[in-house]
Structure 1
Amino acid sequence: MNYHNITYPDQNNGDGLRVVLWLSGCSHHCDGCQNPQTWATNSGIKFDDNAKHEIFEQLKKEYISGITFSGGDPLHKDNVDELYEVILDITSKFPEKTLWLYTGYTWDEIWDFSNKSHENIMRRQIVSFCDVLVDGEYVKQLRDTSLHWCGSSNQRVIDVQKSIKYIGLHQQKHKIVLWNS
């Protein structure tokens, strides 16, 4: 797993002051993407213990609300295994911090149980740890600067934990609960 940058404190990519890990690798290649330099999986820097240490040092700070994973696409097939391990470490050491994730995949694609690929199983595992998922490809023709936390009107800011509870209670994976700040 490669990354391009770790930014902090960031207030533009989720609620509160956050750490943002900008991962490499994206197969969506959205027209008008603000980060096309992150598309190639071999671009950027190899994620290592120094990068993890930098993130953890920032997450220790009381004023940091949590971490946001962006990119590229954190759920790209080349990221999912290592990202899952990083998320396990973060949630065990910092259970009070929130996790946000931006992806070009939609909620319905992630929760498509007929897709039994390793990558999609890992996507569901990763998303299940998140508090908020901003889903969907950026669509230049649907650009809307009035939206909070997303760039085009097809994208949704999803309250993951409430949506997962809904799935469990109603067995309707396509119903989502939007996050309200």
Structure 2
Amino acid sequence: MRYHNITKDDMLNGEGLRVVLWVAGCGHACPGCHNPVTWDANGGLPFDEAAEDELFAELSKDYVSGVTLSGGDPLFPGNRADIAALCARIRQRFPDKTIWLYTGYTWEEIQNLPLLKNVDVVVDGRFVQALADSQLHWRGSANQRVIDVQRTRASQEVVLL
């Protein structure tokens, strides 16, 4: 897996103060995407031990609520195995931190992915420029949903946060 940036002290991409991992690779190519530089799966830098150490150093801070995985798309097929392993390591080491994941896939397309057992919130759906609204909380367009993953998995019906 490759990544473009680790943003520290972020308040825009999830609840609370967060660290954001911007991964490389996205096949959606949504018109109006705010981060098209991340589409190339071969772009950015390798997510190596030093990058993980940097991410975990931020997560170890008491005032950081959790991590947000964005990009690109963390669920780009080439990223899924590495994202699954990373989420498992985060959950094990930081059980009280939340994991948010932004994806262009809908919940219905990804709901059976095993990695979701370690994710707290998914913001799903492609960005649709015609539905863009800067007043929306934690999402860019009105078609996207902020989904409470564990409550959704338990009830088998989408539960919005």
TM-score normalised to the size of structure 1? 0.87
Q: How many residues align?
A: 161
Q: Percent identity?
A: 52
Residue of structure 2 aligned with 1:149, choices 133, 138, 142:
138
Which residue of structure 1 aligns with residue 129 of structure 2? 140
Which residue of structure 1 aligns with residue 16 of structure 2? 16
Per-residue Cα deviation, 1:41-96 (whole angstroms, up to 9, x for no partner)? 00000000000000111111000000000000000011011111111111110000
Aligned residue type for 2:155:
Y
For residues 144 and 12 of structure 1, the distance between their equivalents in structure 2, rounded to whole angstroms, comes to 14
Which residue of structure 1 aligns with residue 97 of structure 2? 97
Please give the root-mean-square deviation of Cα atoms over the aligned residues, in Å. Answer: 0.8
Per-residue Cα deviation, 1:115-160 (whole angstroms, up to 9, x for no partner)? xxxxxx6xx1222211110000000001111110001000000011
Which residue of structure 2 aligns with residue 25 of structure 1? 25
For residues 92 and 164 of structure 1, the distance between their equivalents in structure 2, rounded to whole angstroms, comes to 20
Unaligned runs of 5+ in 2: none
Aligned residue type for 2:159:
V
TM-score normalised to the size of structure 2? 0.98
For residues 69 and 86 of structure 1, the distance between their equivalents in structure 2, rounded to whole angstroms, comes to 10
Which residue of structure 2 aligns with residue 172 of structure 1? none
Unaligned runs of 5+ in 1: 112-120, 168-174
Pick the structure with greater CA Rg. 1
For residues 60 and 42 of structure 1, the distance between their equivalents in structure 2, rounded to whole angstroms, comes to 29
Aligned residue type for 1:69:
L
Which residue of structure 1 aligns with residue 86 of structure 2? 86
